[in-house]
Each structure stands twice: as C-alpha cells, then as structure tokens.
Amino acid sequence: MADTPVAGDLEAPFRFEYDPATLRYAPDAVRSLGTELDEQGYDRALVVCGTTVGETPAVMDPVRDGLGDRLASVFAETTPAKRLGTAYDGLERFREADADCLVAVGGGSSLDVAKIISILAATDRDPTAVGTAFADSGTIAVPEAALPPIIAVPTTLAGADLSIVAGVTAAPDTCPVDEPASGGVSDPELMPAAACYDPELIATTPRSVLAASAMNGFDKGIETLYAANATPITDATASHGLDLLTEGLLAFGNGDDDPWVYQSVTQGLMLVQYGISRANGTTLSLIHALGHGLTRTDDVQQGAAHGIIAPHALSYLFEQVDGRRSLLADALGVGDADNPGTAVVDRVSEVVTTLGLPTQLRDVAGPDRAEFPEVADAVLEDAFMMNVPSGLEPTREDIVGVLESAW
C-alpha cells in the first residue's frame, strides 16, 4: 500500500521551515510573564480572555502577579463565537491602555480574538471596510506593518497555541456587515511571539472543560504522524507528545489529580503542536476535516466531535492505507500488539471513554443522518484533506460511511 515514509526510511526527502514561538514551561511559568515581556522587549500588555477566566482568581491572580507593572489592562470579553465585533472592542481597549503587546489567556477563542486585535491594530482600514471585505472574502488581510506581538497562555488542552491561523465570525448586531459571515486568517505573522505553558494554571480549569478540549490536542499528535507532509522532526515531537498525553489523559480521566498528571498533559500538548503549523502548510488532516464538517453549522462541541469521530476515521484510514500504524502504536503505548491498527483504534477509544466524552453522533447536538451527504461534501472540500496519506482517496460515499459508523 502506498503511504507516507515510515520510520527508518532515511531516503525520504523533506524541507522543514518553521519559526515557532519562544516556549516557556514550568509549574509556575505564568509568574515569569513579566520576565518574558522584558526579554521580548515589550512593556505594556493587554490581557485578552473570556469572562469566566477573567473572573477566576486562581487564573488571574498569578497572571497579574507575573505581569506586575507591565499589566496595562484586562479585556475579558471573548466568547467561543470569536466575533470580529469583539476584536474591535478589544482594539479600543488596546489603544486606551496604550499597550504594545497582547497576552491571550484561556483557550483557542481568546487566542484567535487576540490575533484579530493584533491585525486590526496594525491596519489603517476602518471597521466598515474590514467588515465588508471579510463578508465578501471570508478573510481579513494581514497588513505589511509589524503586528503587536502575542504571548499565549493556554488554560485548556485544545492545542491552538503554536498556530498561524485564526478563526473569526461576524454578525450585523456586533460588526459592520450586512449578514452573518465566518472565515479565517492564515499568516506566519500570527505565530505568537511566546507561549507560556504552566501546568498549575491548567490544573485550575474545571475537569469537564479540560476533558472536552483534550481530544483537539490529542488528535493533532495523531494526525501529525500520518500526514502526507510528516517529517522526522514532527515524528519525534508528536510521538513523545502522544506518549505523555496518553499516560496523562488516562490518569486524569480516572480521577488522578496528582501534579505529574498536569505536567504530563501540558508537556504533551506543547510537543504535539511543535511544527504542525508552518508557512508552507500544516499536518492537520482527515480527523480535523471531519471535525470541521460536523461543527460548521451545528452546536456540537469541537472536542466532543473529535472524540466521536477519531476511532472511526482511523478505522477507515487503516482499511485503505498503512497510515503509519506501527509508529502510532508505539507512540500510544501499544507497540507490542499483534495488530497495530486495531490496537491504535482501541487505544484512542479508551482515551475517549476514560475522559467521559460521548462516543456516538446521535448523542450530541450535531447533524442528523439525512445531512451526512452534505457534511461529506464539506469534509472533502476542507483544506486539511490535502494532507491525507498518499494513496488515500476518500469519496463522498467513504465519508458518509465513516459518519454512519459513528452514528
């Protein structure tokens, strides 16, 4: 079966170009935020977060302490909708506070909004022009002027930190657009200047929220190993990251709150993201495309969609191509199994059930079976499908079959 180069294929050519954020890790890393800003050469930070995070002393107190007199203001108004209008409100706060950088605290929504604020701060276009162009094109132009830098401080396991993309939506009641619109921005300039990984901060997040976000980050590691553009560098970081995540998530799901659990999942999250978002593409692939298809018009939570669909997507993948199943089995701690493909699927299913996530599409607020052909079309058109393994040629019928198996 044709496939991506397996481990040990030393003749496979690759080019790895990556300009990542500075990575800072420690059980109390957030208390070094002021030091990091000093090393980056910035003085006044606007903290961007959601209302819940902004009202949680266990998160905000160490952030405030870490920034000290470099804290210019807090903008605690982001929502999962990631509204363009919210970013404009954040831009106003950024200017009022005379800030020169942004510290995004929370999950992917806060980081995405911070990225849009950064773009808006560097552009000379007025809100109406930006809103009109976004509604027409589904994206926002990144100006040539330098963007205010972002420091990412994750509190979930979604794994949006080392990324050059941002999602955004717009609604007439919050932004100058005539009708609702959604889209995204991708540019190397959107990579955060630094990312601060603090397991003690992640441990403050409610267990249900962490569990719901976990499959997003976990699946990034899985897909990085079988993606068409995998490299030995991303193989190494994703493999070790999956090892740490698997052990940590199983312990977490079984109720273990020992500090090593949060240290393991935090380091694993950091590693599976390394190198997946580069100027010439990403390693995200089939599972993420399916996740987009399931969540594009419905209220199903993204982590839940990933948890449900991942075992079925992998079963389909292994029926068609090798999918680097042996490498995946090693990374997931089941490398001694007689059938590595089955062992990988079973291991991923074990993580999902141990985290207490739903396992059937019928149990979540997603599309019903009659909509599966439409979902399949959206999946096949998703940009991440460019990264499926060589030899895998999914059809509409194939994708509907994966959705049916998950029903």
- Given 200, 230, 259, which residue is the final one in a domain? 200
Query: What CATH number did the domain enclosing 308 receive?
Result: 1.20.1090.10
What pLDDT score does 9 carry? 65
Q: Tell me if 318 is assigned to some domain.
A: yes
Whether 340 and 191 map to the same domain: the answer is: no
Residues 273 and 249 in one domain: yes
Question: What's the total number of domains in the chain?
Answer: 2
Choosing from 170, 200, 230, the residue where a domain stops is 200
Domain span at 181: 22-200
Choose the final residue of a domain: 171, 200, 229: 200
Residue 14 pLDDT: 86
Structure tokens at 152: 């990412």
At 186-245, the pLDDT tens digits run 999 999 999 999 999 999 999 999 999 999 999 999 999 999 999 999 999 999 999 999
In a domain, 3, yes or no: no
Question: Does residue 17 lie within any of the structural domains?
Answer: no
* 283 & 175 share domain: no
Structure tokens at 150: 């972002």
On whether both 140 and 237 belong to a single domain, the answer is: no
**CATH code for position 65:** 3.40.50.1970
Query: Rounded distance, CA 279 to CA 330, Å?
Result: 29
d(CA 178, CA 404): 37
Which pLDDT score is estimated for 5? 47
If asked whether residues 99 and 228 sit together in one domain, one would say no
| Residue 9 counted as domain residue | no
Regarding whether 264 and 388 lie in a shared domain, the answer is yes
Domain-embedded: residue 285? yes
13 falls within a domain: no
3-state per-residue secondary structure call for the chain:
CCCCCCCCCCCCCCCCCCCCCEEEECCCHHHHHHHHHHHHCCCCEEEEEEHHHHCCHHHHHHHHHHHHHHEEEEEEEECCCCEHHHHHHHHHHHHHCCCCEEEEEECHHHHHHHHHHHHHHHCCCCHHHHHHHHHHHCCCCCCCCCCCCEEEEECCCCCCCCCCEEEEEECCCCCCCCCCEEEEEECHHHCCCEEEECHHHHCCCCHHHHHHHHHHHHHHHHHHHHCCCCCHHHHHHHHHHHHHHHHHHHHHHCCCCCHHHHHHHHHHHHHHHCCCEECCEECCCHHHHHHHHHHCCCCCCHHHHHHHHHHHHHHHHHHHCCCCHHHHHHHCCCCCCCCHHHHHHHHHHHHHHHCCCCCCHHHCCCCCHHHHHHHHHHHHHCHHHHHCCCCCCCCHHHHHHHHHHHC
Residue 111 shares a structural domain with residue 165: yes
Q: What is the pTM of this model?
A: 0.92
Same domain, 192 and 249: no
Say if residue 239 is in the same domain as residue 380. Answer: yes
pLDDT for residue 265: 98
pLDDT of residue 344: 98
Same domain, 377 and 333: yes
Residues 177, 307 within the same domain: no
- Low-confidence residues of the chain: pLDDT under 50: 1-5, 7
Residue 132 to residue 124: CA distance in whole angstroms: 15
